[in-house]
Amino acid sequence: MTVPFFADQSIWGERLMRLGVSPQSIPFKKISEDVLAEAIKVVLGDEVMRSLAQELGQKIRGEDGVANAVEAFHRHLGLMA
């Protein structure tokens, strides 16, 4: 669940929602105890969302993020053949 308040956070919140691992983002200016409580209920009660989040977590843990970032950096600089 995201509460974007800066830069690209709203984009990532939208991406998480489209992946099915998060409810819709809560705009920072609209956050309240009731809104937050409802979002927590959604997260805790949605078995499909939980399952998708677990699958996504496994994929992320299986990646070598640093190596991928370095490779992408080098590729975009033209340093790789």
Tens of pLDDT along 22-73? 999 999 999 999 999 999 999 999 999 999 999 999 999 999 999 999 999 9
Confidence label for 79 from pLDDT (cuts 50, 70 and 90): confident
Q: What is the pLDDT of the chain when averaged over all its residues?
A: 93
CB 13 within 8 A of CB 2: yes
pLDDT at 81: 60
CA neighbor of 6 nearest in space, from 34, 39, 29:
29
CA neighbor of 2 nearest in space, from 45, 17, 46:
17
pTM greater than the 0.95 cutoff: no
